[in-house]
Structure 1
Amino acid sequence: MTEKKNQHYVPQYVLKPWSDSNDKISCYHLESGRSFNETRRSVCSRGYFYGQKHVEDALGKLDGYHSRPLNEIRRGTPISELSPQHKQLLLSYIGTQRNRTRSEKKDIKSGEDMFWEAAEVDMLAGKYEHMIEWRKEMSQTEKLDALVDASIKGVQHFLMISGILSYGVLGDLDGAILRNATDCDYIISDTPIVHDNPRFKDEKGMRITGMAERGLQIITPIDQRRSLFLYDPIVYGVDTNHRREVIITEPEIVEEINLLQLHNTGDIAMEHTSNSGHISSISHRIEEFRRRDRIEKEIGGDNLPSWEISSEDSHQTPLKSPDLPGVNSKSGVRYTDTRNEELLRQTKQMSRYAMKISDEASDVALIGAIRFLESNLGLNS
């Protein structure tokens, strides 16, 4: 069996609707403004992005589960008719995909100096003498490099665990499909899950909105004709048809939804080869939507060491929100940093359990979280 080295941070099943008959996707490189075609297999991937083969095998299984509700929606099933299991898998996909991207890993790596300092202190204190059997030829610098790399992967794995199990904390959101009835297709990016908070972001000076916050909206493309819209029903009213669809008839609104993808993009945005040129044609409007403030934030915590880092976080709220038809903010709702304390507590409890049974080994914990998902959602039956 071929060893799995090329690991996708946006899985191939997510990108499939944007690939042509030759499995090519039209890519737009944000920094250079260059467009090029790339195979679906090679785009949004890096060698050993998550770690060794056993991690990739487990994530491949998870991708199979997550593809089920997306494929069902693509076949035309209304989201209101998804089974409870598939609704939870859809939410798990949203949380996992948000936390697995290259942009997220770059944010973690921006704390590399602090990881290095912590590893150096631990090495001097002899913390690893009886825990790690180093190769004799390794220098002190090589050992520290290995520890820092393990720390970065560890934080990445634990963020993915919280994403895998996020169907709990996201379970109070309502959903609709933004059904594209225009001649302009939806695009997708290497960071496709957009978090927004139109109701409170300006009032609170909010540059990041988390999964648990009051006023959350999530928008992500499913295919060229459908985008998933999740929203806090306490804050927003949404007029839909009987299929839980908001019909988008104005190309300008589709363009604004696409600009959310460009706001979120780390390196590349993607479109079908038959639609090539659309991204380039709207790129002059990126600065209306794209926010990249330098933000101080904590990484780690929840049974992990924690560090304060400063980075241009990839998951900031957009400067501007699309003017979605039939969506209105309700008056008299006050902001809280947690919508539902009990759902958040349950989600954190599940994540901590996965960490605890793994004895803090992050790759084992990640695999354990997938097995927990299988058991909890009855995926093995």
Structure 2
Amino acid sequence: MYEQITKNQHYIPQFYLRNFSDNKSSVGMYILNKKRFAPEASIKKNFSEDFLYGKDNVMENNLMKLEGIWSEIISNILINNETEKIGTDYRELSYRDKNYLLMFIAVSASRTLAKANYTNDQIDGLYKSILQNEPSFEKYKDSIDDFMVKFSIPNWIPIEAAKKTFMYFIDLHLVVLNNYKNCGFISSDAPVIKYDNWLYKHGYKHNIGLTTKGLQIFLPISRNKCLYLYDSQIYKLRGHNMEIKGCEDDKQKIEKIFYINLENQEDIEVINRLTIKNAEKFLVIHNQKDYENCKALIEHENNGSVSKGKGFAIHKLSAGEILQFSDPNVKEHLELPFCSIIDNSLEQESIDPNMMNNEELERIFPKFIDKFMSITRS
């Protein structure tokens, strides 16, 4: 059967962007490096790249099929309880829909242009580190920065991995945060925010993974709603005494996803701060009014720079080299007013390879391996 070849391939799904739009064809877009707001940026023409997922359209078509499933699930979440104090305080999801929703979160983090760039940085760094130690390459070392090793489809491996590794955070509790304040949730070209308030409060400054204790994941899905996954062994939601659990029905394989109303403006602002800090080049803002309401916050948090460093680094030790692969995530501690920490204990020596010389790194690296296991969810 003939399938249309799509040149303009969106790394932020169009159905997702339409949730932040009144007319479903345009959305407010803030350009970070220009510090400029475009109130009616075309959804069709933005947040996309030509043939980002390949010219054969195999990955693009697969994503489009999944987007049909994801769109229906998220639309149902948005329809329920869309008006303040009206509707039920939970949404029933089948296990199938819950798994597809978690897959959507994982794939959304893996399909972006920022992820493509970091993946290329990593493969480029890896190959060049091998070439640097290859005797036959000695005469070409001075020109090693004149070329870059790239994947033809850099998002392919991350996306395929995401379709399976979302199961690593299936133990996190999922709620929907409701926002009915003047300033709506904003999103970005890197919409999925991985955070760990527990670790960062203790001075931890490294990347976090899907199995890290205290993991929190935020994904705004409209100006009024944000998906929030959190480690319930570490956090509890403030002002909500009920036990936020899946409330599983074994016979029907149904899980209840609770809606939590955020009562304070500072709750909204801290999530928007995370969004701004996590963004690569663009913010997604519902309309001019929302922009005016959060303009001061954007200007305060945005320094106009889109550079977040490389996704690859080499640390030379006497016994060899440590190759460091990393993706960007917000690494500073921000107070989250809507949740509190249950378990505040952590015996963890802060280890940041980028802030150490080689002697310090060599001394402390064995401890890092031992400590890594202590901050991994079982």
Same fold at TM > 0.5: yes
Task: Give yes or no for contact 1:25–1:270 (8 Å, CA) kept in 2.
Answer: yes
Render the CA deviation track for 1:154-208: whole Å, top value 9, x for unaligned.
5x31211221223311110001111112122111111111111111123252332
**Shift in Å, 1:113:** 4.1
Task: Give yes or no for contact 1:291–1:316 (8 Å, CA) kept in 2.
Answer: no
Partner of 2:48: 45
Supply the AA of the counterpart residue of 2:323. Answer: E
SS at 2:53 equivalent: coil
Partner of 1:55: 59
Partner of 2:195: 196
CA distance in 2, matches of 1:296, 1:2: 34
CA distance in 2, matches of 1:110, 1:19: 34
Q: CA RMSD in A?
A: 3.5
Q: How does 1:43-192 map to 2 (within 5 A)?
A: 43-52=46-55, 53-76=57-80, 80-111=91-122, 113-114=124-125, 117=128, 148-150=149-151, 153=153, 156-192=155-191
Supply the AA of the counterpart residue of 1:255. Answer: E
**Shift in Å, 1:319:** 4.0
Task: Give yes or no for contact 2:18–2:26 (8 Å, CA) kept in 1.
Answer: no
Task: Give yes or no for contact 2:28–2:286 (8 Å, CA) kept in 1.
Answer: yes
Partner of 1:284: 299
Specify whether residues 192 and 157 from structure 1 end up closer, same or farther in structure 2 by C-alpha distance, changes over 3 A only. Answer: same
Supply the AA of the counterpart residue of 2:280. Answer: G
CA distance in 2, matches of 1:240, 1:48: 49
Specify whether residues 25 and 293 from structure 1 end up closer, same or farther in structure 2 by C-alpha distance, changes over 3 A only. Answer: closer
**Shift in Å, 1:293:** 6.9
CA distance in 1, matches of 2:164, 2:335: 28
Of residues 4, 8, 11, the one that matches 2:10 is: 8
SS at 2:150 equivalent: helix
**Shift in Å, 1:79:** 5.6
Render the CA deviation track for 1:27-62: whole Å, top value 9, x for unaligned.
101111011131111221000112121221111112
Partner of 1:205: 204
Supply the AA of the counterpart residue of 2:376. Answer: T
CA distance in 1, matches of 2:241, 2:77: 16
CA distance in 1, matches of 2:265, 2:159: 35
Task: Give yes or no for contact 2:183–2:294 (8 Å, CA) kept in 1.
Answer: no
SS at 2:261 equivalent: strand
CA distance in 1, matches of 2:235, 2:130: 46
Partner of 2:262: 248
Partner of 1:352: none
Supply the AA of the counterpart residue of 1:218. Answer: I
Render the CA deviation track for 1:66-107: whole Å, top value 9, x for unaligned.
223211111117665111111111111111111111111221
Partner of 1:339: 377
State the aligned residue count: 309
CA distance in 2, matches of 1:293, 1:44: 19
1:222 to 2:221 alignment: yes
Supply the AA of the counterpart residue of 1:110. Answer: D
CA distance in 2, matches of 1:278, 1:5: 36
SS at 2:331 equivalent: coil
Specify whether residues 31 and 309 from structure 1 end up closer, same or farther in structure 2 by C-alpha distance, changes over 3 A only. Answer: farther
SS at 2:104 equivalent: helix
**Shift in Å, 1:118:** 7.8
SS at 2:267 equivalent: helix
Normalising by structure 1, what TM-score? Answer: 0.71
Structure 1, unmatched stretches of 5+, are: 126-143, 300-306, 341-381
CA distance in 2, matches of 1:338, 1:204: 17
CA distance in 2, matches of 1:25, 1:318: 29
SS at 1:323 equivalent: coil
CA distance in 2, matches of 1:214, 1:291: 29
**Shift in Å, 1:322:** 2.9
